[in-house]
Amino acid sequence: MVDLGLPVVPSVAGRPDNPRLVDGFGRIATDLRVSLTDRCNLRCTYCMPAAGLDWMPGSQMLSDAELGRLIRIAVEDLGVTDVRFTGGEPTLRKGLEELIASVAALSPRPRISMTTNAVGLARRADALRAAGLDRVNVSLDTVRRERYAELTRRDRLPDVLDGLAAARAAGLTPVKVNAVLLRGVNDDEAADLLRFCVEHGYALRFIEQMPLDPQHGWDRSEMVTAAEILELLGAEFALTPSPSARGAAPAERWLVDGGPADVGVIASVTRPFCGDCDRTRLTADGALRSCLFSTTETDLRGPLRAGAADAEIADRWRAAMWGKLAGHGINNTGFAQPDRPMSAIGG
């Protein structure tokens, strides 16, 4: 067969001739979340069993070169402007600094961020910053050492606090802190977490717990809702709606005691924001997902390893995003939780 260099993926019915990641509901994905590994050095009870999960075999994971190529296509051909590394725990990925440097060298240069538990950040923050990382989101559900050890099954709170401080000192700012409140576990700590973050200059975001646990044990009635979080905070702080535009940001924000500090709540379940979603997701084994809750994926690793040209990969990506659903459907009857847990999708 003669290769004419034409895209092999057929055009998708109704899709406009637009190089960007448009979908059928008028949204354009510009924010790429890349999972670098499904492994983690913590075992947060709501995210991973004590023994860990069946990790992806190394041969199934994208190599650095493959990852770099897909990110380049996303940025240079598909209009992605923001790249967020996540996992699993992205700092466990060997060659992270080099990967970041290669993304920072793209044109136009995307904004580069990382979601991390910060366990190993203290000794790497400067190198990550030098490589081109712009900022970090650090996951921290409690500032009490014993509770942290119970919740994560690892006694690493001091390392995390050092990691946060190092991130701020290195200029990986604004340093955001993500917290999930769990009923009867840490829901008495909402105000303490906010006080800690305000004192240290970190921007706190509470995240409603979503049905993405490996046990498939999520229970809506157990979830601490945005309304409850605001009530808990409101008992100790004066919260006023933030005047800054929300855009496609998942967090609704409030000024704390008049500002400038603010606090955000990411209410994916009780106040979904799918209509403004601008995200596209790549798993560590090269599966493309248009939503955290997608039950279908588009394989990019296969075509990549079969020698597909950039144009074909880009077309597959466009076709996958064109089919993005209007919403995640958590609140629909018949909602089916995806097979992959959060740690294997990339939170």
Sign of CA dihedral 307, 309, 312, 317: positive
How distant, in Å, are the alpha carbons of 175, 206, 268, 324 from that of 230?
22, 10, 15, 31
Which residue in 23, 134, 213, 315 binds ligand SAM (CB under 6 A)? 213
Nearest to 249 by CA among 225, 267, 222: 267
- The neighbour count for residue 1, using CB atoms within 10 Å, is 3
Instruction: Report the site for ligand SAM in 46-85 (rule: CB under 6 A).
Output: 46-47
Contact flag: residue 152 with ligand SAM (CB under 6 A): no
Which residue in 209, 280, 283, 290 binds ligand SAM (CB under 6 A)? 209
Contact flag: residue 313 with ligand SAM (CB under 6 A): no
Nearer to ligand SAM, 178 or 298 (CB): 178
Give bridge partners of residue 266 from the DSSP assignment.
Answer: 207
How distant, in Å, are the alpha carbons of 141, 240, 246, 276, 334 from that of 249?
21, 18, 6, 8, 28
- CA distance from start to end of the chain: 42
Find where tokens 């340093």 sit. 175
Question: Which listed range, 14-22, 24-32, 112-120, 232-240, lies at the site for ligand SAM (CB under 6 A)?
Answer: 112-120
Residue 24: DSSP 8-state: T
Sign of CA dihedral 5, 8, 13, 18: negative
Question: Which listed range, 52-60, 203-211, 278-286, 314-322, lies at the site for ligand SAM (CB under 6 A)?
Answer: 203-211
Contact flag: residue 342 with ligand SAM (CB under 6 A): yes
Contact flag: residue 207 with ligand SAM (CB under 6 A): yes
Q: Give the max Cα distance, the chain.
A: 71
Contact flag: residue 212 with ligand SAM (CB under 6 A): yes
Contact characters 283-312, ligand SAM, x per CB under 6 A:
------------------------------
Which residue in 177, 210, 308, 313 binds ligand SAM (CB under 6 A)? 210
Nearest to 139 by CA among 101, 93, 91: 91
Which residue in 21, 40, 70, 292 binds ligand SAM (CB under 6 A)? 40
Minimum distance from CB of 100 to ligand SAM (Å)?
A: 16
Contact flag: residue 116 with ligand SAM (CB under 6 A): yes
Contacts to ligand SAM by CB under 6 A: 40, 46-47, 86-87, 89, 115-117, 139, 178, 180, 207, 209-210, 212-213, 342-343, 347
